[in-house]
């Protein structure tokens, strides 16, 4: 295959191994009827999805040349020309839930995953390829050096599986790093047992200075940390589970509420 001139800002690395494309397509468990592919490019993965009768299938692609190519080669494909990050996700399938698949544009991997987190009640499953390092980070558990914000936020609502590693030489042009395919399937947690907004803030702030203990890392929150048990404050964010973060969030909410009540009664 001729070396394609990839548009760098689009994170274009076209997969050339059809066996791997088929394996990615087969990794879907079919949790929902609607399926969205992000960044189909020249359609190597699309080919295994577009005629699958189980799915109402759409794709979103930012690159005009790729969109033209897809129109020519897959005339039945419903391809939206645009940026996934700006797409109104509730409108593509008229409010129905939908799964996401793709060999994703690596330059926006984290943004795609944060969007999945935000849309967790609309997205029951994600199967796709990321840089290996991102895939490992998402799939990591507490205690691991790669465990971070996305691992905590996503594992609160998804079961995360690292499926397989993909070598850089099966792409055109080859990326600098290895890739990996992961699967996220929504768990049955409808809502966390705490203030979810504060939970996200606690996780983000905790990891912002990941080498510090929480006692120091959480200071910028300006909340009464005394309410949190000492043994948790002595740990670093990377050592804590979703349950630990939930507990800390609850400790902080209760303390913040009573501080507010005290202030109010002082004022009265
Ligand atoms: N899935 C194809 C292409 C992977 S490269 C394959 O496996 O060969 C990533 C693709 O995502 C490119 O086609 C690129 O044009 C597209 N892309 C990049 N940014 C995007 C965005 N914000 N929204 C939708 N597609 C995007």
Residue 242 lies in a domain: yes
**H-type helices in the chain, by residue range?**
18-26, 64-73, 89-92, 109-118, 132-139, 149-157, 196-208, 214-217, 230-233, 242-267
Among residues 186, 221, 251, which one ends one of the domains?
186
- Taking the CA of residue 84 as centre, how many other CA atoms within 13 Å lie in the half-sphere pointing to its CB? 28
The reported pLDDT for the residue numbered 254 is 82
What tokens does 98 get?
Answer: 């939908």
**Each residue's pLDDT tens digit, 125-166:** 999 999 999 999 999 999 999 999 999 999 999 999 999 999
Give the number of the atom of ligand 1 that is nearest the alpha carbon of residue 63: 15
What gap in Å lies between CA 71 and CA 202, rounded to an integer? 46
The reported pLDDT for the residue numbered 6 is 63
- Residues 131, 251 within the same domain: no
Segment 87-109 mean pLDDT? 95
DSSP letter assigned to residue 4: P
- Residues 89, 121 within the same domain: yes
pLDDT higher than threshold 80 for residue 2: no
DSSP letter assigned to residue 33: S
Among residues 159, 186, 213, which one ends one of the domains?
186
What tokens does 34 get?
Answer: 């609607």
Ligand 1 pocket, 44 CB below 6 A? yes
The reported pLDDT for the residue numbered 1 is 43
CATH code: domain of residue 219? 1.10.8.100
What tokens does 242 get?
Answer: 């979703």
pLDDT higher than threshold 80 for residue 236: yes
Residue 191 lies in a domain: no
The reported pLDDT for the residue numbered 255 is 75
pLDDT higher than threshold 80 for residue 261: no
What tokens does 37 get?
Answer: 């592919």
The total number of structural domains in the chain stands at 2
- Residues 240, 117 within the same domain: no
**Each residue's pLDDT tens digit, 178-233:** 999 999 999 999 999 999 999 999 999 999 999 999 999 999 999 999 999 999 99
- Residues 205, 161 within the same domain: no
- Residues 240, 127 within the same domain: no
Total residues found in the chain within this entry: 268
Residue 63 lies in a domain: yes
- Residues 49, 135 within the same domain: yes
With the most atoms of ligand 1 within 8 angstroms of its CB, the residue from 42, 62, 87, 134 to mutate is: 62
- Residues 106, 72 within the same domain: yes
- Residues 214, 129 within the same domain: no
Give the number of the atom of ligand 1 that is nearest the alpha carbon of residue 12: 5
Q: Count Cβ atoms below 10 Å from residue 130 Cβ, excluding itself.
A: 22
Among residues 167, 186, 205, which one ends one of the domains?
186
The model's pTM is 0.93
DSSP-based three-state secondary structure for 68: helix
- Going by alpha carbons, the residue nearest to atom 19 of ligand 1 is 10
pLDDT higher than threshold 90 for residue 3: no
CB 117 within 8 A of CB 138: no
State percent of the chain over pLDDT 90.
88
- Residues 98, 167 within the same domain: yes
**Each residue's pLDDT tens digit, 76-90:** 999 999 999 999 998
Ligand 1 pocket, 140 CB below 6 A? no
At residue 48 the predicted structure's pLDDT band, cuts being 50, 70 and 90, is very high
- Residues 173, 115 within the same domain: yes
Residue 219 lies in a domain: yes
The reported pLDDT for the residue numbered 5 is 61
DSSP-based three-state secondary structure for 65: helix
- Residues 119, 251 within the same domain: no
The reported pLDDT for the residue numbered 266 is 66
CATH code: domain of residue 147? 3.40.50.150
**Each residue's pLDDT tens digit, 5-34:** 667 679 899 999 999 999 999 999 988 999
Ligand 1 pocket, 105 CB below 6 A? yes
- Residues 180, 207 within the same domain: no
Residue 65 lies in a domain: yes
Segment 50-75 mean pLDDT? 96
Question: What is the domain range of residue 222?
Answer: 196-267
* ∠ CA 22-57-159, rounded to 5°: 65
């Amino acid at each position: 295959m001729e070396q394609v001139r990839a548009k760098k800002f689009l994170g274009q690395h076209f997969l050339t191994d059809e066996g791997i494309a088929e394996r990615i397509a087969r990794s879907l468990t079919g949790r929902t009827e609607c399926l969205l592919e992000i960044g189909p490019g020249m359609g190597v993965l699309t080919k295994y999805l577009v005629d699958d009768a189980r799915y109402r299938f759409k794709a979103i692609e930012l690159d005009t040349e790729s969109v033209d190519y897809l129109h020519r080669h897959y005339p039945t494909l419903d391809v939206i020309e645009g940026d996934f990050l700006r797409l109104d996700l509730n409108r593509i399938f008229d409010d129905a839930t939908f799964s996401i698949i793709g060999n994703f544009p690596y330059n926006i991997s984290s943004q795609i995953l944060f969007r999945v987190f935000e849309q967790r009640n609309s997205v029951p499953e994600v199967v796709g390829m990321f840089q290996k390092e991102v895939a490992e980070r998402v799939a990591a558990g507490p205690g691991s050096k790669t465990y971070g914000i996305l691992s905590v936020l996503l594992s609160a609502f998804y079961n995360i599986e690292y499926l397989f590693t993909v070598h850089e030489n099966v792409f055109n042009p080859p990326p600098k790093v290895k890739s990996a395919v992961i699967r996220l399937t929504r768990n049955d947690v409808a809502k966390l047992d705490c203030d979810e907004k504060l939970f996200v803030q606690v996780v983000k702030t905790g990891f912002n200075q990941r080498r510090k203990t929480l006692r120091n890392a959480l200071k910028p929150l300006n909340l009464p940390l005394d309410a949190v048990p000492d043994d948790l404050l002595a740990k670093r964010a990377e050592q804590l589970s979703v349950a630990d973060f939930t507990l800390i969030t609850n400790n902080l909410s209760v303390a913040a509420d009573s501080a507010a009540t005290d202030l109010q009664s002082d004022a009265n």
